[in-house]
């Protein structure tokens, strides 16, 4: 029950933040777990320039995508930073506006690399596995086989 509430709150937090609700100036993500009767945990973690996407894996890891820093961060449930992936650029280990992330299968992390027109697949420790390039720079590919700027997963 707590896990369901936890995921619900994380999703709600980002929906509210995208809808223009103003929060106090902060550069951290705040996570709250609630039971029906009491507040179980309040914590803030991470320093972000523009956190736009959050996902969880195996009920033990939290991943946050920082759009402006072009980095994916991995945190423990307690908020300790465990790993980071990315940096600005076009290379294999670089990102350009990681718009959306998904780690719900618990085995790997998918990243929508928006400006690089690709989806990256990372392992649970944020090591590069492979990428899906959408032919956007291939001049001979049919236009129906090109996908530009994937906004989500």
Positions of the chain with pLDDT lower than 70, given as ranges: 1-46, 135-146
Cα gap 117→5, rounded to integer Å: 34
Over the stretch 85-109, which tens digit does the pLDDT of each residue have? Answer: 999 998 899 999 999 999 999 999 9
Looking at residue 1, its pLDDT comes to 46
For the structural domain made of 2-145, what CATH number should be given? 2.120.10.30
The Cβ of residue 145 has, within 10 Å, a number of other Cβ atoms equal to 10
Cα gap 45→97, rounded to integer Å: 21
Looking at residue 77, its pLDDT comes to 86
Q: Which two tokens stand for residue 48?
A: 């972000």
Looking at residue 48, its pLDDT comes to 85
Burial 74-98 (b: 16+ CB within 10 A, else e): bbebeeeeeeebbeeeeeeebbbbb
| Main-chain dihedrals φ then ψ at residue 23, nearest 5 degrees | -105, 160
């Amino acid at each position: 029950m707590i896990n369901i509430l936890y995921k619900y709150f994380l999703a709600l937090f980002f929906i509210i933040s995208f809808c223009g609700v103003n929060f106090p100036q902060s550069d951290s993500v705040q996570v709250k777990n609630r039971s029906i009767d009491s507040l179980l945990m309040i914590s803030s973690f991470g320093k972000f320039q523009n956190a736009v996407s959050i996902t969880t894996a195996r009920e033990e890891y939290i991943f946050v995508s920082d759009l402006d820093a072009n980095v994916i961060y991995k945190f423990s449930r307690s908020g300790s930073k465990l790993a980071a992936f990315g940096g600005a650029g076009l290379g294999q280990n670089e990102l350009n506006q990681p718009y959306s992330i998904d780690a719900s299968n618990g085995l790997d992390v998918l990243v929508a690399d928006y400006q690089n027109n690709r989806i990256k697949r990372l392992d649970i420790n944020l090591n590069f596995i492979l990428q899906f390039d959408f032919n956007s720079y291939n001049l001979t590919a049919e236009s129906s086989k090109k996908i530009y700027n994937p906004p989500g997963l």
